[in-house]
Structures are given as C-alpha cells and as structure tokens.
Amino acid sequence: MGESSRLVRRNMSASLADGTGWALMFGLGDSYFSAFALALGFPGVTSGLLGAVPQILGAIVQTAGPRMVAWLGSHKRWVVITATVQAGNLLVPVAGAIAGSMPGWLLFLTVSVHHAAGMAGGAAWSTWVGSWVPARVKHRWFGIRQRHLQAMVLTGFLLGAIVLSLVTGGVPPAEFGDNRVLLWGFAGLFAMALAARVLSVYYLTRQAEPTPMPASQRRVPLLTIASRLMHAQRGSVMATDGRLLVAVFGITFASNIGQPFIVPYALDQLKISYWWFAAVIGAAIAGRALTLSILGNFARTRGSHVLLLIGAVMLVPGLGVMTLFNHPAWITAIQLQSGVAWACIELATFLMFLEHLRDDERTSWISFYYLGNTIALVLGSMLGGLLIARLGSDQQAYEVVFWIATGLRALALILVVRVLTAINAPDAAAAAARGRERSQRSE
C-alpha cells in the first residue's frame, strides 16, 4: 500500500470520528434549541423562529470564510478554529439552563453564534475533504459517511429524549409543573453536546491536509458569482448550476414556511410527551440515516439530478398531510417519509456541487450557496411565523400554514424540472447533431 493510500485511509477514519462527534452534538444540542425555548417559557412562534432566524448570522459570517482561509493559508486551520468556537459557545445554554432563565436576546445571540461557527467552516471543510477523497470512491464514501452521521444524530437525539423523559416522568412538557427541574435536564443535554464537539475538534486536528492551498486557489467575490450566473450562456454548465441554486432556494423557502414550527406544534398544541417527540423528530433523522448509502449508489448509477427530482416530489405532501390525523404515530410516519425526501435533496445537491464546481473556486461557490439558501430559509420561516401569529397562534393556525407550505412545495417542482431540462439539453443537442449528420450522409 502506497503512502498516499495510507494517508487517505487515516483521513477517512479520523473524518468518521470527527463526524461522529459533530453528529452527537447536533442530536443533543441543535435538535433541542426550540424545545429549550419552550421550557424557558417563550411562545411557540418564538420557538419556531429560533430554529431558523439565527442562521442568517451564520450565512453572513461564513462569507468571510474564503478570505480567512487565504489569510491562514489553510482550509484545515479555519475549520478547526470555527469548530472550537462552536464548542465553547455551548457553555452559554448550559449556564442559562442551570440559572433557570435566559433573556430572549441572549438566547437568539447564542444560537446565532452556534450557527455562525458551524456554517463558517462548512465551505472550507467541503473543499478540504474534496481535495483528498479519491474521485473513484467519492459518491460511495460520502453516502456511507452521511448515513453514519445521521445514525449518530439519531443516537444523540434519542439520548436527549430519554434524559428529558426521565426528568419529567413521561409527563408531556406542556403539563409538567416544575420547569426548574426540566431545565436541569437541558443543562445535561447541552453539556454532553459540548463534550461531543470537543471530541470532534480533536479528530479534526488528526486529519492531514495534503494541499493546504491549491496552487490555483482564489477567492471569488459573491457579486462576481451572481454576475456569472445571470450572464451564463444558455445550455452551459454555469447556467445549469444557476438553475440548481434557484431550485434549492425555492424548495427551502417553501418548506420553511412550515418546517420550523413542527416542534411547537407537537409540544405546545398537540401536547405530546418527550417519548413521542423523540419518535416524531427521530423518524425524520432515521429516514435520512437508513437510506443515504442506497441513495449514494443510486446517484452514481442514475445521476444526481434524478435523485434531486425524486426527493422534491416526495417532499411535497408531508406538511399538509401530517395534519389529517393528530395522532403522533401518523405524524411519525409522515416524518419518516420526509426524512428520506430531504436525504435525496441534500445528497443530490452536495454531489452536483462536487461534480460541477472547480476545485480552486469551490469554497467561494459554497459560501454563496449557504448565504442564498439561508436567506430563503429565514424569509420562509418569518413568513410562516407572521401567518401563524396573524391567524391566532392556535392549532388551526399552524395547520393552515402547513397547507400553504405544501402548495408552495408543489410549485417548486417547476424549478426542479428546469434543472433536469438544462442537464438533458446537451444530450438532446448531440442527438440532433448526430441525426443531421446521418441525414447528410444518406443524401
């Protein structure tokens, strides 16, 4: 085995361990921020917005990623720094839970910094890992890694649900009288999330960076990227990438009119226990974890663009159909299906970026994607929150908004079809050229 092969294997092992720590942090921390807000006494709309609005700071901060990578002369250093900041920031919700209260502005600021640190290193991480994973195993390995990470997210999430259920004695949180005790449970969750992220940082430092800065590495300003997309020649790869971005932004906007409000709807309106909450949210995570390896192979054989279409179609009915029956078992089944749909969309988008983007510009392009996608997410969630508040913030208000989101998801399919049309256009043009050539020969 050559030195290069040994390095790749070591990096893969360390990357899997790093991802395990990150995923446990996500399951124990990120997944419970909205529930934590409810336990602190904030209303349901505030809880829903907490899962979306703070991400705008992350989207803005992460645009500085390419500049910081260039200044540090390394993608790895920037990723390790941002991961360390994210770990340290988790001390704030631990302290707030122990204190028994936390002002709204501090809660939103803390979650904003959490997302900012996570997203700031995301684009650099993609470029770093993309530089050492061999092309021949890229689809398969990322599929396996993502499946493992989703399994670890589910593990962390279920562990959190067990802790909170033991604290409340199985009583629904909306009916549990002693919030002080409940908040101590959240302190334990966030402390475990902090420990998991520290483990992740350690394994990030163990990974090698064969090419800290590619010789041709350059930072592309966001306005330049936007200009390229607007003036791309019809049928070009650039035009296809532009359609892909618009489609994903459209899906994100439509979905987040309702998606962030599933947690307050389940806990505050349906008053389900943490056991059922674990089933509802865990089903979406399980849908991702159980299918990612299969989806990676499917994308390799049938194409990432086909996977994107399948995911977009599967995603459409979820939010609206979920309201037909209020039993948690029904909602759990719908969440499982939605998890599979999101796995298709997220993996397809990631793979299409790896396939289409130039290595020396990938960090800048992914930063542009994060910014646009987060703006769509925040706009969608703010519209959803406004509608729920205007409609009375009761169960019916949530359900009306879920159906609105479902209708807009259906309209977003038009954008996905445009991506497939752009991808298939070169093949159609080549077939037409071959047909003309045969006709000329026969003449």
Where do the domains of the chain lie, and which CATH numbers do they carry? 3-207+223-430 (1.20.1250.20)
Q: Which residue has the higher pLDDT, 302 or 427?
A: 302
16 CB-contact burial (10 Å; exposed 0-12 / middle 13-18 / buried 19+): middle
Q: Which band of pLDDT confidence, cut at 50, 70 and 90, is reported for residue 83?
A: very high
The percentage of the chain sitting over the pLDDT mark of 90, rounded to a whole number, equals 32
pLDDT in tens, 40-81: 989 888 888 887 888 888 788 877 777 888 888 888 899 999
pLDDT for 432 beyond 50 = no
Q: Taking 80 as the threshold, does the pLDDT of residue 354 lie above it?
A: no
- Orientation of helix 122-132 relative to helix 104-120, angle to 10°: 20
Q: Over the stretch 357-387, which tens digit does the pLDDT of each residue have?
A: 666 666 677 777 888 888 899 999 999 999 9
Confidence bin at 430 (pLDDT 50/70/90):
very low
Q: Which two tokens stand for residue 360?
A: 């020396």
Mean pLDDT estimate for the chain = 83
Mean pLDDT of 341-355: 83
Contacts of 101 (CB under 8 A, 6+ apart): 40
Specify the amino acid at residue 207: Q
Say what the pLDDT of residue 202 is: 95
Span 103-115, mean pLDDT?
A: 93
In this predicted structure, what is the pLDDT of residue 439? 42
Q: How far apart are CA 252 and CA 416, in angstroms?
A: 12
| pLDDT tops 60 at residue 403 | yes
